[in-house]
Amino acid sequence: MAAKRNLYLTLVAITVVAILLWFAQENLNPYYQRILTLSAIYSMFAVTFNLIFGYTGQFSLGHAGFAAVGAYVTALLTMSPAQKVANFFLQPIVPFLRDVELPFLPALLIGGFVTVLVSLIVGVPALRLRGDYLAIATLGFSEIIRVLLVNLQPLTNGALGLKGIPSNTNLLYAWGMLGFCVFVCKRLVDSSYGRAMKSVRDDEVAAEALGVNLFKHKILAYIVSSFFAGIAGGLLANLISTIDPKVFYYTLAYQIVGITVMGGMGSLTGSIISASLYTIFLELLRPIESQINIGSLQIPGIPGMRMVIFSVLLLVVILFYRKGLMGDTEFTWDALFRFLRKPKGRNDQEGKVA
């Protein structure tokens, strides 16, 4: 049976990837490890944004805010009391937060749950709005979160940020969480609830006339999305070990939108491929921002040049793959076998007929 074969292949693939990750964690140099870990975190951002926009059609720009809440909660829960006291020298931290110290995994999950609760404050009213209003409301939400982070000194240490967050995030945690996130999102979009989410995206009036409770399904996508975005934020905090409100500037949301569009709306594999490419390319392009010497000619480094190149790359992708790298298709074993079995020309023709 093809279904059984695919299941075995998937299990084998997961095992192989897990072994590779474990091996990489032991042997790969920390710089490459960090790039791969960041890829997984950005993939989680892209996958969760895809769930809310690509599958449910709600243009929510709250991801920077989600990430911030998740990052701060996880960071505060994992830092040691001594570390926190050292950080909060302007104004002492609230006693409850000072004394609590949790292992990484529970801290991440609590970070996810708190993100959901905070996001619902804006989600419940905003998801009753349609189209652009939601984008504006959620973008505003992100900014409010950032301003709160700056001003709630006893909770967040304000603009000084948090330093010395334990570096708990490693390859296995990041890719493991990504795997969990993709598993949940994939199961969700392939279920009856996923069909309802897609119907909301395609035509709200018709969906409602067929008995789909619009608000319920929008909020469902929003909750799952913010939960995993919060966890991704927590992973990020425990990777970079120093966070401050500027990390979660609203441009982060735009980056996530760019990554997701480049990967393809409605393709989870597309989001992962695109996020990984994005992270790796940004690293590869790093030399561009430093000073370049060609003989006696000196070109000074321009900070931010990488983003210009990235924009051009994004434009190229949009020009040649109008629906993103993967469109709305996913990687499947069947598609791989079809691709391997047939010569390219015939494959193309069949694609057109189907």
Q: In angstroms, how far is the first alpha carbon of the chain from the final one?
A: 23
Give the per-residue SS3 of 126-168.
HCCCCCHHHHHHHHHHHHHHHHHHHHCHHHHCHHHCEECCCCC
Binding mask 153-192 for other proteins (x = CB under 8 A): -------------------------------x--xx--xx
Query: What is the smallest separation between the CB atom of 109 and other proteins, expressed in angstroms?
Result: 16
- Is residue 206 at the binding interface for other proteins, with CB under 8 A as the rule? yes
Residue 126 vs 196, nearer CB to other proteins:
196
Tokens 């321009």 sit on residue: 302
Nearest approach, Cβ of 328 to other proteins (angstroms)? 8
Interactions with other proteins, residue window 45-74 (CB under 8 A): none
Is 41 buried (19+), middle (13-18) or exposed (0-12) by CB count in 10 A? buried
For other proteins, the binding residue among 35, 120, 214, 314 (CB under 8 A) is 214
Confirm or reject binding of residue 353 to other proteins (CB under 8 A): no
The nearer residue to other proteins, 210 or 292, going by C-beta atoms, is: 210
Residue selected from 86, 133, 144, 203 as contacting other proteins according to rule CB under 8 A:
203
Helix (H, G, I), strand (E, B) or coil at 298: strand
Q: Which of 193, 249, 254, 321 binds other proteins (CB under 8 A)?
A: 193
Task: Please check whether residue 328 is in contact with residue 267, taking contact to mean a CB–CB distance below 8 angstroms.
Answer: yes
Restricting to residues 298-337, which ones interact with other proteins according to CB under 8 A? 328
Determine the number of helices (DSSP H) and then strands (DSSP E) in the chain.
Answer: 17, 4
Rounded CA separation 240/245 (Å): 14
Q: Of residues 40, 137, 212, 273, which one binds other proteins by CB under 8 A?
A: 212
Q: How far is the CB of 44 from other proteins (least distance, A)?
A: 17
Single-letter code of the amino acid located at 324: G
Dihedral of CA atoms 68, 175, 279, 157 in degrees, nearest 10, equals: 20
Q: Residue 46: which residues within 8 A CB-CB, separation 6 or more? A: 256, 259, 260, 263, 271, 272, 274, 275
Q: Which of 161, 266, 270, 324 binds other proteins (CB under 8 A)?
A: 266
Q: By three-state DSSP, how is residue 92 classified?
A: coil
Q: How far is the CB of 201 from other proteins (least distance, A)?
A: 6
Per-residue binding string, other proteins, 218-257, x by CB under 8 A, is: --x-------------------------------------
CB atoms within 10 A of CB 3: 8
Is 143 or 328 the residue whose CB approaches other proteins more closely?
Answer: 328
> For residues 207 and 239, which CB has a smaller minimum distance to other proteins in the complex?
207
CA atoms 307, 140, 208, 184: torsion sign: positive
- 292 contributes a contact to other proteins by CB under 8 A: no
Residues that bind other proteins in the complex, under the rule CB under 8 A: 184, 187-188, 191-193, 195-196, 198-199, 201-203, 205-214, 220, 266, 328
